[in-house]
Amino acid sequence: MRKKTQNRGRTFIQEHLLLFFTLLDNFFVFVFFVGSTVEMSAVLSAVSFIQQGSPHQANNNPAAMASGSRGNNNNDSKNNSNQLAQSSNTTSNMKLYHAESFIPRAIEQYTVDARLHAVFEQSGESGKSFDYSQSVRTTTQSVPEQQITAYLSRIQRGGHIQPFGCMIAVDEGTCRVIAYSENAREMLGLLPQSVPSLERPEILTIGIDVRTLFSPSSSVLLEKAFGAREITLLNPVWIHSKNSGNPFYAILHRIDVGIVIDLEPARTEDPALSIAGAVQSQKLAVRAISQLQSLPGGDIKLLCDTVVESVRELTGYDRVMVYKFHEDEHGEVVAESKRPDLEPYIGLHYPATDIPQASRFLFKQNRVRMIVDCHATSVRVIQDEGLMQPLCLVGSTLRAPHGCHAQYMANMGSNASLAMAVIINGNDEEAVGGRSAMRLWGLVVCHHTSARCIPFPLRYACEFLMQAFGLQLNMELQLASQLLEKHVLRTQTLLCDMLLRDSPSGIVTQSPSIMDLVKCDGAALYYQGKYYPLGVTPTEAQIKDIVEWLLAFHGDSTGLSTDSMADAGYPGAALLGDAVCGMAVAYITKRDFLFWFRSHTAKEIKWGGAKHHPRDKDDGQRMHPRSSFKAFLEVVKSRSLSWENAEMDAIHSLQLILRDSFRDAEASNSKAVIHAQLGDMELQGMDELSSVAREMVRLIETATAPIFAVDVDGCINGWNAKVAELTGLSVDEAMGKSLVRDLVYKESEEIVDKLLYHALGGEEDKNVEIKLKTFGPENSKNAVYVVVNACSSKDYMNNIVGVCFVGQDVTGQKVVMDKFIHIQGDYKAIVHSPNPLIPPIFASDENTCCSEWNTATEKLTGWARGDIMGKMLVGEVFGSCCRLKGPDALTKFMIVLHNAIGGQDTDKFPFSFFDRNGKYVQALLTANKRVNMDGQIIGAFCFLQIASPELQQALKVQRQQEKKCFSRMKELAYICQEIKNPLSGIRFTNSLLEATELTEDQKQFLETSAACERQMLKIIKDVDLESVEDGISSLELENVEFLLGSVINAVVSQVMILLRERNLQLIRDIPEEIKSLAACGDQARIQQVLADFLLNMDMFHSSRWITQEGLGLSMCRKILKRMNGEVQYIRESERCYFLVILELPMPQTDTKTVE
């Protein structure tokens, strides 16, 4: 684990707090949904252990304005520097550990947020103005638990909503009202004075049945929604007030004490009011999504620029921005679309604490946040006195913003805002509890200079667009990461080539250089006391001082990286100035180093906004983005950009390469590459392999799925009975024919060519449809459609010798599909036919409501046609009835369905869901437009292709084997871990014996025991056999001096017990001068190899035939080859033996061959 230099003095409690908060962040997901208070006590417990300040910088951050969070401004650069020193990104041992740096920062931010909130509240009560800068200077003070409680309670249970709608909360079991907003009576037309004839029981009060407040049809819709498992998938529910008849969007969600109903008034002229209008909003979003998907890859800026234009066109806001969170959690506006007269914000950077961690987490739960009018007075929520605490409003669309938020928005000239979360896939380390990791990449933020309300269907369409944007962005980020990795590998290859031709200084003096490996302002090599600088670097005297500091304070590390030399503790940081703020260093040897340097961050940051106007004066009480940006520059002027994970990985890889290079330079200049020959031993398992091969051939020949194979030239060399039956071409006739030229239709030739090219290159494709020709007089005009998986065929040496195609016949489904698309004949009779060739089929009308649900689909899903017809396919059918895996799956299905309705067909889309009984179903979805007789699109047909029972069984067996293998590996890892403990005890006992008076023989015995222990520890580290077998070429070898006698004694001792059990004798004929001979190399690995060969000779000494996998021999052969050695198996008339040849250098002498 990589250690943090600033946390060297962490206490025991703080170490355990890291684990606590890792679990806490995962726990929040449940807590915020149900509205519990456990998260408050959890944060309080953490804060009670860590009461330290946090850098909380100036806000009027556009993203913070939209989220309802508040910020602050601090122009005291000294104070900022001191605070930020606590969260420096200084790390050693070349490995990032994010949780350790994130958790204290999150705790600090809660503390600062609570402190500022309390000061603001106090200023309002006293009538004094809120002195922002003064408040910031006191945020480093400790905060009482009561203030933390008040702050978190205000975020989640503020007790107020925005006045553009009203809210009612009900008990889920009885539908009785348990809370309502003060404006609910007026909005629903329930005030007694306005309706004199209104009966008393119908007045909105605590305990009334909520169904009596709405029309009968609306009550039925509410009851139906209350019974849904995923209630949010049905939003919005369109209902009418019983008394006034006014329509409302009802947006429902569950909390800990019941169900919250947010009621947003719907104008009768609102085009989004009807289902068709809601679908039209989604169509607009799908059009925007199609535009995103059509963009050329590799340009994230273009993707962000396009999404802000699309959102502005959809919503009509004056300004739309993409706000990105960087790795150190600070934010930046990276894209913007605005009214021409507004000042640009693009390029603005804001401190990480401008948007609190609590607000960021809320965005993961409630991904769209709208503030209609920041000047409007909030409405109080009245609730049942029997409730233990204020109502949780985390999931409410009406939740009121914080009191200070309106003040900040007014300073920016913004009255309304809309903020939408951009969620992407996180890394594996962030995944907890079996759930896939999701990361808040940033926000899309909208501002408007006047009050603005966007109807819920349009907001839902925007959320749909954000989900698609997140998917597209995730692919672009992965592509960018792959391109960066390729660039790094290419640069490393060139640098290695230089090392082979020139001295190590070539990686600095020639092009490309080490500066091309990662983004930096300068780099340097310190080799054998000489200094080779490049770019912006310290002077030679300064670099020598840095080297001495590294050896004194970080001598046990393999490297170090920091974005602030001052915060890392380097005494001479002030003399380096702003030119050298950040540094990454890799230790090549104990006295040789590689350096990369970065200048201060402010040099990298530019803002396209206007300059300060002379009369536009910002002070501590009036905030503006310009002041926040200026404060951010003050904070980062003595810091560089942080070193990213990929950059540190590249540096570490080069470090390993250089270590080998330097080691090779000190050793022999040339070494022969010897190929080990173990022919006889490799034949040991051939009979068993032949038996398996024969069984595989039988299974392929008799399989009910079409299977065929080709050689490297694309000619048929395998053709099973099923494919012969389908095509009418016998095995003898098919053998030797060209798959591309002779057996597939012209439209499939290019597809098959591509499949062959990929598979022969080791890349296997799945679920590809090809069209095979048929032969014979009755089949001459027919075709066979097969969906195939192309697999590389390999020989026993792992060389690719051909391609095998495993297919599924979909001809029947294809014919039916064509008839559907062209409306040929009575398609309803085809749809509902019980014929097993008819695939599962369902259809959608123009509004994405289910219009067909055939018998095969009923059987597949478990849901009857009557239960599904007329329901929304997205959300109700697939979402509530048939659950999908995560929001991404629902988004992708929605895109496919809308594309088909828009005329864009989708073929073989992977589609998975849970049926009515909870069984997981995997299928391929084909969606085609559905047209009437006039050619007008009236919906979409969807066809599901399910894997054959044989293939499903094969996949099931594969998953079981993988699970079993994983379980075995876990057991093996556990056993190895348990072995370490008694080994430690043995080592300790031996150390005690070494301190006593021993004879020479006893000392020799202890030395042999210690050598065996070291060997065993190395073997335990190689517990992952697969990774060891694949990674032998990169295996790190030690180069230490040892006596050959010690190795021989250790090797012999490992077989003595087995020899005694079998009454066998081991004869050692080794001259004394060999025993006392010193050599250099990896003693433990040499012992491992020799002991394994000797053990195999002992185990298989008899003349009978014994079958074993030979894994140990294979591994030892590879390890020996890695050490430039070879082994030969010699069979003579009277004896057989292993001959091991290994060259080992002698200390300060030439190498010598030891046999």
Q: What is the mean pLDDT of each run of 10 residues along the chain (1155 residues)?
A: 36 29 31 34 38 38 52 38 41 43 52 58 51 45 65 76 93 92 90 54 81 91 86 85 89 91 78 52 76 82 92 91 85 91 84 73 84 90 89 89 71 86 72 60 92 88 87 86 77 66 70 83 88 90 90 82 85 85 88 88 53 43 51 61 80 77 50 35 46 60 81 90 88 89 89 90 85 76 84 77 86 67 50 67 87 90 90 85 81 86 84 90 88 81 77 64 68 62 62 76 80 73 52 72 85 78 79 85 85 76 52 77 85 79 78 48
DSSP reduced 3-state for 459:
helix
DSSP 844-878: E-TTSBEEEE-HHHHHHHS--HHHHTTSBTEETTE
DSSP reduced 3-state for 915:
coil
Per the CATH hierarchy, to which homologous superfamily does domain 276-374+414-483 belong?
GAF domain (3.30.450.40)
d(CA 1056, CA 1098): 10
Tokens of 713: 């030239």
User: 454 and 317 in contact (C-beta within 8 Å)?
Assistant: no
DSSP 269-294: T-TTSSHHHHHHHHHHHHHHHHHHHT
Residue 926: closest CA among 1022, 817, 1031: 817
Residue whose entry in the numeric block shows the structure tokens 């869901």: 913
DSSP reduced 3-state for 584:
strand
* pTM, to two decimals: 0.58
Render pLDDT for 597-629 as a digit per residue (tens, 0 to 9): 998 876 555 544 444 444 444 444 444 555 555
- Asked whether residue 404 is marked as a ligand-binding residue, the answer is yes
The topology (CATH level 3) of 823-947 is Beta-Lactamase (3.30.450)
The topology (CATH level 3) of 508-599+643-665 is Beta-Lactamase (3.30.450)
| Residues 703-813, CATH architecture | 2-Layer Sandwich (3.30)
* DSSP-derived secondary structure letter, 668: -
- Could you write out the three-class secondary structure of 922-988? EEEEEEEEEECCCCCEEEEEEEEEECCHHHHHHHHHHHHHHHHHHHHHHHHHHHHHHHHHHHHHHHH
Report the b/e string of 344-368 with b at 16+ CB within 10 A. Answer: ebbebbbbbbbbbbbbbbbbeeebb
Residue whose entry in the numeric block shows the structure tokens 């009369």: 615
Residue 63: closest CA among 284, 297, 352: 352
CA 691 from chain centre, in angstroms, equals: 43
Residue 441: closest CA among 338, 634, 304, 577: 304
Neighbours of 510 (CB within 10 A): 13
Can you give the pLDDT at residue 332? 87
Can you give the pLDDT at residue 67? 52
The topology (CATH level 3) of 1035-1142 is Heat Shock Protein 90 (3.30.565)
Domains 276-374+414-483 and 508-599+643-665 share a fold: yes
User: 937 and 931 in contact (C-beta within 8 Å)?
Assistant: yes
Can you give the pLDDT at residue 100? 41
- Close Cβ partners of 783 (under 8 Å, ≥ 6 residues apart): 745, 771, 772, 773, 774, 811
- Could you write out the three-class secondary structure of 633-665? HHHHCCCCCCCCHHHHHHHHHHHHHHHHHHHHH
Can you give the pLDDT at residue 862? 92
- Gyration radius of the chain's alpha carbons: 36
d(CA 568, CA 584): 11
Can you give the pLDDT at residue 214? 92
Name the residue type at position 7: N
Residue whose entry in the numeric block shows the structure tokens 């805002």: 417
Distances (CA, A) of 1021 to 660, 878, 979, 1005, 1089: 21, 47, 11, 25, 16
Edge-to-edge order in the sheet of strand 530-535: 91-92, 559-562, 582-587, 593-598, 522-527, 530-535
Tokens of 60: 């009027």
Render pLDDT for 864-879 as a digit per residue (tens, 0 to 9): 988 888 888 888 889 8
- Close Cβ partners of 327 (under 8 Å, ≥ 6 residues apart): 642, 644
Can you give the pLDDT at residue 530? 87
d(CA 370, CA 373): 9
Residue 742: closest CA among 721, 714, 767: 714
Q: Where are the domains of the chain?
A: 105-157, 276-374+414-483, 508-599+643-665, 703-813, 823-947, 1035-1142
Question: Which helix (DSSP H) or strand (DSSP E) does residue 483 occupy?
Answer: helix 456-501
